[in-house]
Structure 1
Amino acid sequence: MSDRTRTRLLNALKASGPQTAADLSTGLDVTPVAVRQHLDGLLAEDLVEFEDVKGGVGRPKRVWSLSPEGHARFPDNHSVLILGLLEGMKDLFGQEGVDRLIAHRQEAAHQAYSKELERATSLGQRLEILAELRSREGYMASVEEEDEGGYLLIENHCSICAAATACQGFCHSEMLLFQELLGPDVTLTRAEHLLSGGRRCVYRIQEAR
């Protein structure tokens, strides 16, 4: 199996969620036969799984997704070390110490992101730059424009999932960070949340009218 095609398949299922072999073939520009062969290989390694979904007419569609083992292939920023450090900080400095750490991280990110966002002239440009910055940090971020207006900022992977699981303050801090960066004339709500059972984190952003 081509390692490159294998990696592209795993990334596509991580980024876009469950898909049929035909969808993957179109998106990756790989023949349907090759995609099915690769998926069978990944299935044998327990990295993917499938569900046969009944439609209105014809045979059920086979929809592929990452298995828990497949999700585990994506890095989590040394989760064991992070959890140990957070527990140690809480033991030494209490919850106030953890809160100060989160605030310090938020301020540092605000300064770094703000400098990059200076060149943007519209909300759409700001979001595209923000998604690029977040992707560099491992969040697999992208932006989608909604038909009814507004945008979705999508993060398909959480680089700090272990820390956020241990302390929900990290998630709250990132919401505050995005709101500060995008400005008071923008409303931001969370549409999906990885730690609440979602497949990814999605933020809905709209300009105030």
Structure 2
Amino acid sequence: MQDNGSAKRTVLTVLKKENELTISGIMSYFTISEVAVRRHLRELERQGLVKKRFVKQKLGRPYLMYSLTPSGHKTFPSQYESLSLEILWDLEALEGVETVEKVIQKRTEREQAKVKNELNTDDFGQKVRDVAAIQNNKGYMVEVEKIGEDSYEMRHYHCPIAKVASAYRQICSGDQRLYEDLFSEGCVEPRSCIVDGDNCCKWTIKK
């Protein structure tokens, strides 16, 4: 019998290899019950690693297809972060730290534009939740908790670029500016940071 961790990893591996599968297709790789597999799929969806879509048929009911999200793909080994860090090191050696800071600032501006383009609400609380969902899809493993009237705590339990941010703390400053810009009608206070050894990056966001 597979434990929960290995079963979930098998689901991710199967979807990585096959790209997209029905529940029947996924079940062909398991000996555990369909109920158990569906439970693992729901958990992986909640974590933002797996997504589903309905496929309509001319006859019969629509069926579901499962596939990996970008965050799901990132659970597999990659050298992208190391490569990014090496490029920044080389850029600093060739052009100086000021050029690296400009590159990081450009990244922040690009992220601001992308997130703003996906937002379509003026409600403060909904905007906090929508931003959290957007960041979760990027692999940040985000949770939001309402802690008061128009007051929220946003927590990132994973940083996909922690290795780069450890070398260039301007990345963290850029994330702070990103949230200050997105919630300009309120106040954004940093509380903790993964790069400092904390278990999550945490902000208090108040209107």
Deviation at 1:86, TM superposition (A): 1.1
Query: CA, structure 1 residues 95+80, in 2 after alignment: closer, same or farther (shift >3 Å)?
Result: same
Q: Which amino acid aligns with 2:200?
A: R
Could you tell me whether the CA contact under 8 Å between 1:190 and 1:204 is conserved in 2? yes
Summarize the alignment of residues 55-134 of structure 1 with structure 2, pairs less than 5 Å apart: 78-117=80-119, 119-134=120-135
1:41-81, CA deviations, whole angstroms, 9 ceiling, x for partnerless residues? xxxxxxxxxxxxxxxxxxxxxxxxxxxxxxxx787873321
**Aligned position for 2:136:** 135
For 2:104, the aligned partner's letter is I
Q: CA deviation at 1:8?
A: 8.6
- Conserved 8 A contact 2:125-2:150: no
Aligned Cα root-mean-square deviation (Å): 2.5
TM-score (norm 1): 0.62
8 Å CA contact retained: 1:154, 1:201: yes
Cα distance in 2 for residues equivalent to 1:91 and 1:126:
40
What CA distance in whole angstroms lies between the structure 2 residues aligned with 1:148 and 1:104?
Answer: 34
Q: Distance in 2 between matches of 1:177 and 1:143?
A: 17
Residues matched between the structures, number: 143
User: Which residue is 1:194 aligned to?
Assistant: 194
1: CA distance, partners of 2:105 / 2:77: 24
Cα distance change, pair 126–8 in 1 and its aligned pair in 2 (3 A)? farther
- Using the aligned pairs only, state the percent identity: 26
With structure 2 as the length reference, what TM-score do the two structures score?
0.62
Distance in 2 (CA, whole Å) between partners of 1:76 and 1:153 is 27
Partner of 2:5: 6
Q: Which runs of 5+ in 1 are unaligned?
A: 11-29, 31-72
Q: How far has the Cα of 1:115 moved from its partner?
A: 1.0
Residues 169, 175 of structure 1: CA spacing in aligned structure 2 closer, same or farther, 3 A cutoff? Answer: same
